Amino acid sequence: MKSIKNHSRNILILASLILIAAAAAVVFYPFSNERQKEIVIGACFALVALLCFISFSINKRIYFRPGWLLQTSFFLTIFALLIFFLPVLDFELNVTVFAFLAFFIASAQFCAAIQLSALEIKRWWWILIFSIINILFGVYFLKLCSVLNVSEYPSVGVYLVFLAVNFSSESFVYNKKS
């Protein structure tokens, strides 16, 4: 059982590394147009969604505990498809998409935090803090980014790094050692 738990943890760490690589690429790599950045973000979301689903499904004990990975994998899949089909929909990628992603992940984490506190898991507050920070990112993307006229891609890069921290710390929330 311990090896399955380690595989699940390693998969989440791999997902974190993919998010960090995508953040670095979006912020620092000189793409020729904005659509290429969108494709990198969409591919990152699709791959991380697949890894979250695999991490969830290989650990049978996870089925019976509250968490936010399964919901997040579905959210990331929806947003990856949305990003891939934006030109077909004649819609431009903007910070609203990332605001709603942050709000959706925050709602999943908030529900998981409430359930974990009821089950007396000692680190339930980690997920609650991540949920609050996700809400702040959502508000930032929705309101402040457009008001401040800030480029969205450095902000998206910071958010991807924050999601990487979320995924890498997920398995530590459930450790029995306090």
- Mean pLDDT for the stretch of residues 40-45: 93
- Mean pLDDT for the stretch of residues 135-153: 78
Answer whether 0.75 is exceeded by the pTM.
yes
- Mean pLDDT for the stretch of residues 15-29: 93
Which DSSP category does 133 fall into?
Answer: H
Q: Is the pLDDT of residue 163 over 60?
A: yes
Given a contact cutoff of 8 angstroms between Cβ atoms, the answer to whether 135 and 106 are in contact is yes
Q: Please name which of 106, 101, 100, 93 lies closest in space to residue 26, comparing C-alpha atoms.
A: 93
Task: Give me the pLDDT at residue 56, please.
Answer: 82
- Mean pLDDT for the stretch of residues 12-31: 92
- Altogether, the residues listed in the chain come to a count of 178
The whole-chain average pLDDT of the chain stands at: 84
Q: Which residue type sits at 25?
A: A
What SS3 state is found at 122?
Answer: coil
10 Å CB burial of residue 117 (0-12, 13-18, 19+) is middle
| pLDDT tier for residue 4 given thresholds of 50, 70 and 90 | low
Residue 115 host element (H or E): helix 95-118
Q: Which residue has the higher pLDDT, 21 or 141?
A: 21
CA pair distance 113, 57, nearest whole angstrom: 20
**73-119, pLDDT tens digit by residue?**
999 999 999 888 877 665 666 778 888 999 999 999 999 888 888 88
